[in-house]
Amino acid sequence: MYLLLKNIHTACAILTIAGFILRGYWMMRTSPLLQHPVTRVAPHVIDTLFLASGIALIVAINLAILENSWLLAKFAGLITYIALGMIAMRFGRTRQTKILAFAAAVTVFAYIVGVALSKSPVSWLAYLSV
């Protein structure tokens, strides 16, 4: 069961960032594809499955959230990524604000991936001390 959940979670991570980057590109190009029904619904479906599989993994391996600083860092990163994504795709007042929020959101996503792989809140920097 663990391997299935991990594979679903990983696949959703790839789909969510790929979709976000594509929507960011469309946002920068002012593409009407951003208003397509699939574009508006698919991210919510993927992100819900992504979050649900993450929670299921935590339950399946009986992780104590408050005792694992890397997991708390992932959650903090997730909240930051969501907030920046909302600014980039919806609430940014200017094109420049949206583009900066988009770039920051992608950077935060990379941080989250580094945390997940290294199991350390310092993310990718953890590999420098090895």
Q: Which of 109, 79, 104 is nearest to 92 (CA)?
A: 104
Residues 74 and 129 in one domain: yes
Residue 31 has pLDDT above 90, yes or no: yes
Residue 100 has pLDDT above 90, yes or no: yes
Q: Which of 59, 50, 43 is nearest to 78 (CA)?
A: 50
User: Can you give the pTM of this predicted structure?
Assistant: 0.91
For the chain, how many residues are written? 130
**Which residues are within 8 A (CB) of 17 and not within 5 positions of it... i.e. 6 or more apart?**
106, 109
Residues 110 and 53 in one domain: no
Residues 79 and 36 in one domain: no
Residues 90 and 58 in one domain: no
Residues 86 and 44 in one domain: no
| Mean model confidence pLDDT for the chain | 95
> What is the rounded distance in angstroms from the CA atom of residue 55 to the CA atom of residue 26?
31
Number of Cβ within a 10 Å radius of residue 36: 12
Residues 97 and 56 in one domain: no
Domain count, the chain: 2
